[in-house]
Amino acid sequence: MVRPSAHNSTLTLPIFYCGKSYASFMQLFREVVPPPAVGEVTLAARLRRGLEKHRCYEDGWLDEALYLDADAFRRKHGTRRTWVVVDGERVDLASIYDAIDSAQIDYATFRQRAVKRTDLTMDQVRDAATLDFAEWNTHYGRGGRRRDFTYAGDLHPEAHGKYTAVTSLLKTIGRYEDREAIKHRLKRGWDIDDALSRPVIERDCDWSVVYTIIQLSSGRQYVGVTVRGQRSRWREHLKCAFETGGSTPLYQAMRETGAADFRMEVIEEGAMSGEALGERERHWIEMLNTMMPAGFNSAPGGGIGRVEGLPIAIDGITYQSREAAARAI
């Protein structure tokens, strides 16, 4: 004995579709051409909901019940709606997704990306609908919650503007491959242009800077060295002079006449070992006659010395020691 389908007990029969009458649900499911895009249980549920809404069979909604995939059907007929604010306007997320002709991402992934951000712009909505995983991760991170980053530096004036992340800026200016080193530098308080201008460090030496600080009103100078870049080192000098009360002759003079009376200039830079950098510092102190009282240096220089320690490899680069790696990144 053939038992009738349980679906028939909850559906109005026969089912009329495209000019043909189907005596049972299973006849429709098995004989309709082309075959349904969804399974038996899903189709039966869609037909029941359609009858509740429309009261009769109509080719239009039957087409959708038979052939829309799960995402498309849910967006059009699901009761759940996701409201988001885009450029200050409250909109239905499914509707805005349908309006994006270039959408390459399925709605479920798109929705997951969009709802994780509270400050959506239309550009970000388009990105959520079109960027593949790698590109999305570059600009927004795995969680989609990276902090916005504004670049206003001097090295790349053409790239000035607001970015969804530092890595988004690096992608724009062609420095994405150096992202780990640059991000480490920024975490340690480097100025963005210093972090960008310094190359990823060589094997046995640091990219080093010898600089002078000139008091404009007197012409007296100070010679110093750094492995962190000019802008970062200048900020450190200002902090020592005006926030932590540094007691060196330079800091005392800065407090007396103000920061505007001083200018920092690079006089030499390049890849140098600790020993070579100390030697260049001593050279310039003597050359420019910056020892007290003629200048602001209270020691002859060279104190940076050689970086001792065991070699360490990070991201494929071998550094002289942990200390050298820390200064480099």
What integer pLDDT is reported at residue 202 of this predicted model?
46
d(CA 26, CA 3) in angstroms, rounded, equals 12
Domain assignment present for residue 132? The answer is yes
Are 30 and 157 members of one domain?
no
Domain assignment present for residue 288? The answer is yes
Q: Looking at the predicted structure, is the pLDDT value of residue 308 above 90?
A: no
Are 327 and 210 members of one domain?
yes
What integer pLDDT is reported at residue 3 of this predicted model?
38
Domain assignment present for residue 1? The answer is no
Are 264 and 287 members of one domain?
yes
pLDDT band at 17 (very low <50, low <70, confident <90, very high): very high
Mean pLDDT of 109-127: 80
pLDDT band at 317 (very low <50, low <70, confident <90, very high): very low
Q: How much of the chain, in percent, has pLDDT values that exceed 90?
A: 27
Phi-psi region of 108 (alpha: psi -120 to 50; beta: other; left: phi over 0): alpha
Do the beta carbons of residue 22 and residue 31 sit within 8 Å?
yes
Domain assignment present for residue 217? The answer is yes
Domain with 42 in it:
6-76
- Residue owning tokens 């404009």: 216
Mean pLDDT of 264-279: 85
d(CA 141, CA 231) in angstroms, rounded, equals 28
What does 272-311 look like in DSSP terms, one character per residue?
A: E-HHHHHHHHHHHHHHHT-BTTTSSBSS-S-TT----S--
Are 90 and 17 members of one domain?
no
Domain assignment present for residue 224? The answer is yes
3-state secondary structure at position 221? strand
Do the beta carbons of residue 99 and residue 117 sit within 8 Å?
no
Are 52 and 22 members of one domain?
yes
Range of 7-16, 25-34, 121-130, 205-214 with top mean pLDDT? 25-34
Are 308 and 234 members of one domain?
yes
What integer pLDDT is reported at residue 294 of this predicted model?
94
Mean pLDDT of 118-124: 78
The CATH number linked to 292 is 3.40.1440.10
What integer pLDDT is reported at residue 201 of this predicted model?
57
Q: Looking at the predicted structure, is the pLDDT value of residue 303 above 80?
A: no
Instruction: Name the domain boundary from 76, 93, 117.
Output: 76
Question: What's the mean pLDDT when you consider all of the chain?
Answer: 80
Domain assignment present for residue 239? The answer is yes
- Greater confidence (12 vs 30) lies with 30
- Greater confidence (129 vs 147) lies with 129
What integer pLDDT is reported at residue 214 of this predicted model?
96
Domain assignment present for residue 35? The answer is yes
Are 129 and 54 members of one domain?
no
What integer pLDDT is reported at residue 10 of this predicted model?
66
Are 126 and 177 members of one domain?
no
Which H or E run includes 161?
A: strand 161-163
- Greater confidence (263 vs 321) lies with 263
Instruction: Name the domain boundary from 111, 140, 169.
Output: 140
pLDDT band at 15 (very low <50, low <70, confident <90, very high): very high
d(CA 158, CA 164) in angstroms, rounded, equals 17
pLDDT (tens digit per residue) in 150-209: 888 888 899 898 887 788 888 888 888 788 788 877 877 788 888 888 766 544 456 788
Number of domains in the chain: 4
Are 34 and 96 members of one domain?
no
Are 209 and 223 members of one domain?
yes
Phi, psi (degrees; rounded to nearest 5) at 187? -65, -30
Instruction: Name the domain boundary from 197, 213, 230.
Output: 197
Are 106 and 62 members of one domain?
no
Domain assignment present for residue 284? The answer is yes
d(CA 46, CA 50) in angstroms, rounded, equals 6
pLDDT (tens digit per residue) in 30-86: 999 999 998 888 888 888 888 877 888 999 889 998 998 888 887 777 656 788 888
Q: Looking at the predicted structure, is the pLDDT value of residue 314 above 70?
A: no
Q: Looking at the predicted structure, is the pLDDT value of residue 322 above 50?
A: no
Are 225 and 301 members of one domain?
yes
Has this prediction a pTM greater than 0.85?
A: no
